Structure 1
Amino acid sequence: MIPADFDVSADWHVADPYPFLRHLRHEKPVFWSDHLQMWVLTRYDDVRGAYRDHTTFSSVGSLTISRTLTERVKETLGEHRSFLDDFAANVDPPKHTRMRRAISRAFTPRAVSRLGDDFRTKVDAVLDQVIPRGQADFVAEIAHLPSARLAAVFIGVPPEDEEQVKHWVYSWFQLFLSPQPEERQHELAQDFLKYLDYVDRLVTERRAEPRADFVSLMAELIDTGPEGLSHREVVETISALLLGGNDTVPNGLSNAVYRLMRERANWEEMVAEPELIPGMIEESFRIDGASLGSFRTTTTPVGLHGVTIPEGVQVLLHADSAGHDETVFPDPERFDIRRPNARDHLVFGYGVHHCVGAALSRLKMQIAFEQLTTRMPSLRLAPGANPTYRRSLVGRGLAALPVEWDER
């Protein structure tokens, strides 16, 4: 039976939403969701078109999805309940152009390559620890650690603070992007305020005593004229990039491994032919993207497929549904690591808001799979494993993934 609406509290919502999304693409491509209280676009051409038309589909406030917060928690958060108002992905040109130009200074090809070398070292260090055991929770013990550590080093978080920052980041996701009971919201809000205070102090310290890290690079741009950044813009940029390193890439890696373990022939092919890894990564992004899509707000009424979306309402651009659009990706439910157009997925957005960290995300996935296929070719799901997905409005991530391998 096809569900009538989205339901982020339901198991099917992130585990297997594709029959429902297929129904929407065919029957209601412009869909009003009572549960989400927003419009949803599900067809590839419509999602890509909305990404491209940033004038009509504004990014301002797109990451501030806090309608589930209680009044008590909103009062506790104060001005920070609109956190990320000054992050590049949450604004439109010309402010977006200025901020993206500043952030891009840290993501040059040479810098990304250097980060890749660091990431390979961190992946190997984690594998050195777990391989002798013959089993692990892939999510917690393999996927998250190297990415979180690299993000910490890149940003400039001291090693002794890494675990605390990871805890705060997880609280951020729970608070803003998944429904929580009132008391739990209050606990998460306290964590979130501590997180912001920590990043604020880190920026202040690096501004006074710069180091060779991203915080220092951004701090140098504070109050430097028209092309500079404000203190708050820097704090929110740092905070958001830590979110990605601690959650988005690890989720994508875990999703890909889970898919490969279920479709073993593809894994065996990659072990034998490592040159298949880049195509597999793109196909994994397409079919099991860690991000479900992006939020936008209409600046004028929009007529689409006989439906008028009013001005000033939120719209979910469902990139995950777009990746399963049969008109663009034939036989979309088949995991085809040789799919010629897999890279046309919209997981990293499109147009001016294409993710500035996309190249680094791809490189980290590439390195992780090179090391996994080389050092753990017998990797497989543990007997009786029944992985479940975390419940979230915006992403697909596994809560745990028990795996094992032959000790070498």
Structure 2
Amino acid sequence: MAIDPADDATTSPATPAGTCPVSRLGEEFNPFHGAQLQDPYPFYARARREEPVFYSPLTRMWHVTRYDDIIAVLKDPARFSSAQSVNVPLDLTPETREAMRSSYLSRSSLTNNDPPSHTQIRRMVNKAFAARQTADLEARVRAIAASLIDRFAERGAADLVSELAFPLPMRTILSVFGAPEDDLAKLKQWADDWIALVAVQLTPERQREVVGRLLESERYWTRLIEERRARPRDDLLSDLVRASQEEEPRVPLLQLINACAVMVLAGHETTTNLLGLCVYRLLSLPDQLRLVREDPANIPRAVEETLRADTSVQALMRTTMEPVEIGGVELPKGATLALTFASANHDEAYFHDAARFDLRRQDVTRHIAFGHGIHFCVGAPLARLEVRVALELLLQRLPGLRLAPDQELSYVVNPIHRGLRELKIAWDV
């Protein structure tokens, strides 16, 4: 998601008081501006070589950059909690904290949760998704993608992000959920608000504004859930409500709301970024584009290589539950770790010539763009499906598809997500 920092907000928290072992590398780390925002991978390569676990005063987190260290943390949820996995350390007002404490914003769902609560929520979501047929989903995705491309196919030019990469996954997840498509704009606003609240330092005034809208979203989901309890439909929301009632103990309403909001947010945000980055990579590399043009069976490989080479979820957080040692660094209990998936997916120990985008590489499936272990992304199959179908239709429908000339790429400013704000494409009409 594109967070546009307001004049009264910054994209990162202030440096905390106290003494932390800050190295030169940690002082130089700034993924929010300049060269590191445009291309963070050379810095990550340097970190893996020089200081694979470093502390950043800018983010107030320890950044873990090597594949093996990240996998070790992901395999050990007892010592590394996921409860704050999407929360960047921020300064929130007492009023904001109190409002969050009494709402669904304080409840755990899939990403920011630990067993045994995570086990129950994961079981509920898996059961609900199992009721959705894969063939039906593909037909639905294909119809939505085709209708979106119809809107601009005759123009010869478009912004891929705003005209396809965003509306395709957003309309798909709303269709699967059974939420009215007319609600798309406000659901997107609520998703942006939630990410801003946990990942961007907002002024007290902006915090009040954002929290107010998020409390409105709680009332929205409460109404939809109550409707499905009274009159179930053939949609994912009805499946979730039914699965929540079958759990023992039953899943509380606020936790169910949290799960719904998280799934809508995650169901479009990362896929939007993945599709934009994938198209950009292919159109920037004629030899790779030729591979998918000549053989559409290579399209899934293009999706996987984009997930590896330009990971749309750059990092997620963990909290140490006891003193630990990672990569030769001793860390205290309560330390916040940023598991940098984007760096792990370029680790030379696992990916040969990792900086090169190559559909023919044999090691691509080892990437951890969707996580690993108990928190592996439940929406991964849907994201892969959406991007594959979109690429198929773009290449079929838009002859001579290419990047529009004279454009300067701008990336979203966000400590968790990576994506393009816009991507101008052109083709022969």
Work out whether the TM-score is over 0.5.
Answer: yes
- 8 Å Cα contact 1:61/1:85 also seen in 2: no
Shift of 1:186: 3.5
Alignment CA distance shift 1:227-1:344 (3 Å): farther
Residue-by-residue CA offset, 1:270-309 (whole Å, 9 max, x unaligned): 1111111111111100011110122111112111333111
Query: SS in structure 2 opposite 1:123?
Result: helix
TM-score (norm 2): 0.89
The aligned counterpart of 2:65 is: 42
> 1:314 aligned to 2:357?
no
Is the Cα contact below 8 Å between 2:41 and 2:343 reproduced in 1? yes
Structure-to-structure mapping, 1:195-274, within 5 angstroms: 195-226=217-248, 228-274=250-296
**Are residues 377 and 324 of structure 1, via their aligned partners in 2, closer, same or farther at CA, if it must alter by over 3 Å?**
farther
Using the TM superposition, give the Cα deviation of residue 340 of structure 1 relative to its aligned residue in structure 2, in angstroms: 0.8
1:134 corresponding residue in structure 2: 156
Report the Cα offset of residue 119 of structure 1: 0.3
Distance in 1 of aligned mates of 2:399 and 2:364: 25
**Bigger mean CA deviation after superposition, 178-187 or 247-256:** 178-187
Asked if 1:113 corresponds to 2:135, the answer is yes
- Note if 1:12 corresponds to 2:35: yes
Conserved 8 A contact 2:276-2:420 = yes
| C-alpha separation in 1, matches of 2:157 and 2:259 | 37
Q: Percent of counterpart pairs with the same letter?
A: 34
Other-structure match for 2:7: none
Question: Amino acid of the residue matched to residue 70 of structure 2?
Answer: V
CA displacement 1:200-245 (0-9 Å, x = unmatched):
2221221222111121112224454526422122101100010022
Query: What does residue range 263-302 of structure 1 map to in structure 2 within 5 Å?
Result: 263-302=285-324
Contact 1:41/1:316 (8 A) holds in 2: yes
Alignment check: 8 A CA contact 1:63 1:90 kept: yes
For 1:394 and 1:168, the matched residues in 2 are separated by 17
Shift of 1:44: 0.5
Residue in 2 that maps onto 1:324: 346
Match of 2:153, SS state, is helix
* Uncovered stretches (5+) of structure 2, i.e. residues with no partner: 1-23
**2:411 partner SS:** coil
Relative distance call for 1:77 and 1:98 in structure 2 (3 A) is closer
Cα distance in 2 between the residues matched to 1:11 and 1:145: 29
Q: Which whole-Å CA distance do the structure 1 matches of 2:30 and 2:84 have between them? A: 22
Q: Choose the corresponding residue for 2:102, options 75, 79, 96.
A: 79
SS in 1 for 2:410: coil
Q: Please say which of residues 103-112 and 24-33 is displaced more in the overlay.
A: 103-112
RMSD of aligned Cα (Å): 2.1
What SS does the aligned partner of 1:296 have? strand
Name the counterpart of 1:402: 424
Amino acid at match of 1:32: Y
Using the TM superposition, give the Cα deviation of residue 159 of structure 1 relative to its aligned residue in structure 2, in angstroms. 2.0
Alignment partner of 2:80 out of 48, 52, 57: 57
TM superposition outliers: structure 1 runs of 4+ over 6 Å:
none
Given that 1:43 and 1:322 are in contact with CA atoms closer than 8 Å, whether structure 2 keeps it comes out as yes
For 1:225 and 1:84, the matched residues in 2 are separated by: 21
CA contact (8 A) 1:175 1:188 kept: yes
From 353, 360, 366, give the equivalent of 2:382. Answer: 360
CA–CA separation in structure 1 for the residues paired with 2:101 and 2:116: 27
Code of the residue aligned with 2:81 in structure 1: it is S
Higher deviation after alignment, 7-16 or 163-172:
7-16
Alignment of 1:108-187 (within 5 A): 108=130, 111-187=133-209
- Output the TM-score relative to the length of structure 1: 0.93
After superposing the two structures, state which structure 1 stretch, 203-212 or 11-20, moved more. 11-20
Q: What number of residue pairs does the alignment pair up?
A: 406
Cα drift, residue 369 of structure 1: 1.1
- Larger mean Cα displacement after TM superposition, 159-168 or 383-392: 159-168
Q: Which one is further off, 299-308 or 64-73?
A: 64-73
1:322 shift after superposition: 0.2
- Report the CA distance shift for 1:336/1:225 in structure 2 as closer, same or farther (over 3 A): closer
Alignment partners' CA distance in 2, 1:325 and 1:391: 24
- Structure 2: distance between partners of 1:103 and 1:289: 24
* Aligned residues of 1:84 and 1:240 also touching (Cα < 8 A): no
Matched, 1:67 2:94: no
Q: Which residue matches 1:23? A: 46
Q: Which of 100-109 and 343-352 deviates more?
A: 100-109
> What letter corresponds to residue 47 of structure 1 in structure 2?
I
